Amino acid sequence: MRHLGENQGGHHKPLADINVTPLVDVVLVLLIIFMVTAPMLQTGIDVNLPRVQAKSFDVQEEKLILTINDRREIFINKLPVTLEELQPKLEAIFSSRVDREIFLRADRNVSYGFVVEVMGVIRKAGVDRLGMITESPETTR
């Protein structure tokens, strides 16, 4: 009768079982670290969005978002730019992109004229699709 770890010659060979406990410990620690740090990475620029009744876009994908805050400061994603720098920067960004789509977030206190001026610069930069990001009335209650 042969025992575990015994070969045909009757000699015992060492069992090569993998101890997964340290691996599980490391994976759980990494999971906890990522769970704690993920919400901290969700910072952005505060803007007071207008409320409208419309279908919302899914902007969780890697989309280009242009933000105008209440001080008329312009940001491409989180990078601040001036109105004069906006067209060349957008042209440079869209020169390597297939989809020429941008989403615009503007604070409700920004004048309509300034938003339209920025939209004109966006169109001159060759953007095909311009989406407006708004806030639904239900999310503020």
**Which ranges constitute the DSSP H helices of the chain?**
21-37, 83-94, 112-124
Tokens of 113: 């004229």
Say which residue, 84 or 12, is predicted with more confidence: 84
Residue 61 is predicted with a pLDDT of 43
Q: Where are the domains of the chain?
A: 65-140
Q: CATH for 65-140?
A: 3.30.420.270
Strands lying side by side in the sheet with 129-132: 79-81, 74-76, 65-68, 101-106, 129-132
What is the rounded CA–CA span in Å between residue 121 and residue 88?
A: 10
What is the rounded CA–CA span in Å between residue 83 and residue 57?
A: 25
Phi then psi for 100, rounded to 5 degrees? -105, 70
User: pLDDT band for position 36 (50/70/90)?
Assistant: confident
Query: Which range, of 31-35, 61-65, 121-125, averages the lowest pLDDT?
Result: 61-65
pTM above threshold 0.85? no
What is the rounded CA–CA span in Å between residue 28 and residue 35?
A: 10
Residue 28 is predicted with a pLDDT of 92
